[in-house]
Structure 1
């Protein structure tokens, strides 16, 4: 299943999802499928135990030899949802798990030895356009390119172990405690600080920078991203102060509306762009610990305070919503104040931002929001 489906809901309850292993590339919005066979997990551990001490990737994947084994600035301890990790020296072989973490590492100028294969949005050869561009800039192509592991079903720990990492960064992921323990047997693992799939994009960069003792570089990356955001927003002042929410509509069954909560990075990014979280979304968010909540279409009047709706779909989506006798009553839908993100476009992934996707796509996103604001 492509990551385009990650913006969609399968109908599983949150309780059911928590009982399953996370699919580590599952963006909040798609419920998770069952984990891969435990034999694969054990294979990764056994491979490690059989002596994966030599570098399995090209030397070009690791940090430069001058950085290798550096103890300046170490030890450093980083806490996460499952405990803490103490690094005694600078990691030189980084593997990433989940979503946007690879971009954070790359933005620091470090080429991972291993990272997940992407298949949604504008991904080609397993990478988004901005990720590929950064790798090319850093010389991470050909034999120096990262290995890509599969996360479409579960975490391919065997592939991760074969890359012989000395740090696994999973700060924006949905790994379970069991998966965390498994990965930690391969290399020290940084899970998310608090909630699965809820690490703000700035924190993803900051945590990676701390682990690599590159805090100044991390600050520079964030400053560049902030500048790109400011430039885009300054060019479209009509969006400032408007209320906006991210939702998912199953256009084949419009009996419910799925509203992304403030735990999710998509609504958070709207705040970065100068838009406000509607009171209705704040209320919905306070009633759940999940990244989304379903609202019956009979109660869509709760969403009357939303100026702009961001959703996923295609050229027919808005007309379908407007034709529905209940969904069509939502003021934003009725007047067409809806940004429909094409599931085959770069924005499909970028509206949940990374340090690299922001400068690549923020102008386009703000432009679409501005067009929606013109209808208010």
Structure 2
């Protein structure tokens, strides 16, 4: 089972189990100067100024950033940025600030422990690869401290209050937005919060508009997908819980909704009153009630498709019977939407969405 599947299950179990799963999840992660207005500062993943990226900052420093664990003061435009979890390094890089350190992707990463979309942007700006550290045993405070960062970004994360306090002793730390559940922050909000911390708010808004315009263009190019109902989840005959369906708290349904698709009413109704649940479980005996036009599911092997179709219960899911099931087996494809960022989503539009659109446009 992938770490992202575990993350999605966190809110679908009882509170004691949920706490244990959150701890497990933390161990699996990476399994990811202004004066009078503005000025220009050098930022980068290396101390060599020849490889640093010059970016213009907006607004004034010092500034105070509000997040889930209170307020953090940032006295100067950050030059040395370290990140935790997924997404945050993508956003920093997309805003022109090359991190000095980020977690190695143990899930969904390429051979270098990064992602194809991060590497492409890094090459585009001429930056050097950040220091990669493992988060398989939790947030790597020792590795982060060694980098001497002047800000630590965790706008998309599941950091606890205790972890926040520990990181704050190293450098000013930005947690997820106030009111967000762990790993439930939309990519737009992560981008805005990090943009504010880096003095790149104007660029953050431009970046959000650019990515949303690309998504809208794909939707316009495929009008047949508009109104298509979907279930985005995990279906696995060999799993203890054979069916999970992700809710609107998760980035996957949010993304398909941006393309003009509609969360299946059966899932919306099942998650009513559970605003912090990433997923709902479903009994295989009621599989035929999971009515939707398409089903998108993650599987560890392509063989799972045949197993689902042959299963006497799971094979009765309407989208499976209709041949409109998309089985994702590439971890990087899964990561690009699950941990959505302004770098990963354009990549997903080219590498993931075509299969989803093909299923949606079937007659």
Distance 1:255 1:90, change over 3 A: closer
Pairs within 5 Å for 1:225-304: 225-253=211-239, 256-288=242-274, 289-304=276-291
Distance 1:266 1:162 in 2: 35
1:72-151 alignment runs, 5 A limit: 73-121=60-108, 123-141=110-128, 145-151=129-135
Select which of 21, 24, 28 maps to 2:23.
21
In the other structure, the counterpart of 1:38 is none
| Preserved contact between residue 62 and residue 113 of structure 1 (Cα < 8 Å) | no
Alpha-carbon deviation of 1:308? 1.2
Query: What is aligned with 2:47?
Result: 58
1:337-356 per-position Cα deviation (integer Å, ceiling 9, x unaligned) = 11111234x31211222101
Q: Pick closer, same or farther for the CA change 1:27–1:311 going to 2, 3 Å.
A: farther
What SS is found at the alignment partner of 2:169? helix
Deviation at 1:335, TM superposition (A): 0.9
Partner Cα distance (1:170, 1:124) in 2: 24
Q: Distance in 2 between matches of 1:273 and 1:253?
A: 30
**Contact 2:45 2:130 survives alignment (8 Å):** no
CA contact (8 A) 1:71 1:89 kept: no
CA distance in 2 between partners of 1:96 and 1:255 (Å): 33
Q: Following the alignment from structure 1 to structure 2, what is the Cα–Cα distance between the partners of residues 27 and 321? A: 28
Please identify, of 152-161 and 83-92, the stretch whose mean Cα deviation from structure 2 is larger. Answer: 83-92
Structure 2: which 5+ runs fail to align?
32-43
1:167 to 145, 151, 157: 151
Matched residues in 2 for 1:172 and 1:261: separation? 18
**Equivalenced residues, count:** 341
1:155-190 CA-partner distances (Å, limit 9, x unpaired): 111000111111111111111111111111111111
Q: 1:56 to 1:287 in 2, by over 3 A?
A: closer
Q: Specify the SS of the correspondent of 1:247.
A: strand
The Cα shift of 1:217 comes to: 1.0
Q: Does 1:182 align with 2:166?
A: yes
Which stretch has the larger CA shift, 113-122 or 251-260? 251-260
Name the residue aligned to 2:309.
322
SS at match of 1:293: strand
- Provide the C-alpha distance between the structure 1 equivalents of 2:242 and 2:195, rounded to a whole number of angstroms: 41
The alignment's C-alpha RMSD in Å is 2.8
Structure 2 residue aligned with 1:5: 2
Q: Structure 1 unaligned runs (5+)?
A: 31-54
Residue in 1 that maps onto 2:353: 366
- Secondary structure at the aligned position of 2:237 is classed as coil
Query: Cα distance, 1:371 vs. partner?
Result: 1.5
TM-score (norm 1): 0.82
2:341 aligns to what?
A: 354
Matches of 2:61 and 2:47, distance apart in 1: 26
